[in-house]
Amino acid sequence: MLAGKLYTLEQEQSAGETATYQVLWNAAHPVFEGHFPGRPVVPGVCMMQTIQELLERLLQKKVLLKKASQMKFLNMIDPTANPKVDISVQYKLQDGEIKVTASLKYESLTFMKFQGTFVDA
């Protein structure tokens, strides 16, 4: 949905139930015209959708968010100031559900932390 439009996947490393990605935000995407004019900020819902898309890439199947236990937005992502973001995704299969921990960071700056549960779509 957002891959290739709002962001481009620059790097990918995965090992078992853990993966790290580096994405490049497209500061020219129309979403930034309304969020916010003159001071673009990646919407929280887009960060969450990006996590879901990367989890689906890791698992090679579609998933749905069942519960967000923790979703902390710690810093705004201005795609002109922070065009690259590192995203880590860890999952564990438990009782037919996918328990996920993820974060969006760049160097020492953390933008978002997430813990939640997904299920097969």
> Angle CA(2)–CA(41)–CA(67) in degrees, nearest 5?
60
Average pLDDT over residues 57-80: 98
C-beta of residue 87 within 8 angstroms of C-beta of residue 25: no
Mean pLDDT (the chain, rounded): 97
- The identity of residue 88, as a single letter, is S
Contacts of 63 (CB under 8 A, 6+ apart): 52, 55, 56, 98, 118, 119, 120, 121
pLDDT digits 0-9 by tens, 28-56: 999 999 988 889 999 999 999 999 999 99
Q: What residue spans define the domains of the chain?
A: 7-120
Q: What is the pTM of this model?
A: 0.96
Distance, CA of 2 to CA of 101 (rounded, Å): 20
CATH (residue range 7-120): 3.10.129.10
